[in-house]
Amino acid sequence: MKIHTATTAQTPEALLNDLQNLVSDAVLLLDAAPDETSETQFALLLARLAAARQSVDKVYASAKQIVATHAKSVDATIRAHPYQALGVALGTGLILGLFLGGRGK
């Protein structure tokens, strides 16, 4: 049974690839007949799961920080230009309403 090696994912795409490999390895381990190497492979799988969890936590924290920064920027822009923001919101709502309302006809 071929078990993938653990990597440290630096990007969301690499993390997703690592998680897919982890799941496929877990399926292989569960489908295989138990032998003396199963315990070692299971321990390696658990270690990889812990590393993947840390990577997910890092990506989540980074994304949360980016979203918070952009939300503060949007809030500051709306507070600086409230009437223009209201006009943009009304225009966007009108266009979406016409587009979605016209689909039913």
Q: Is this model's pTM higher than 0.85 or not?
A: no
Could you give the percent of the chain with pLDDT greater than 70? 87
Show contacts of 39-43: CB within 8 Å, 24+ apart: 41/1, 41/3
Structure-model confidence comparison of residues 51 and 65, the more confident one: 65
Structure-model confidence comparison of residues 44 and 86, the more confident one: 86
**Model confidence over 40-59: pLDDT tens digits?**
878 888 888 888 888 888 88
Helices 38-80 and 82-103 sit at what angle, rounded to 10 degrees?
120
The confidence score (pLDDT) of residue 2 equals 53
Structure-model confidence comparison of residues 103 and 52, the more confident one: 52
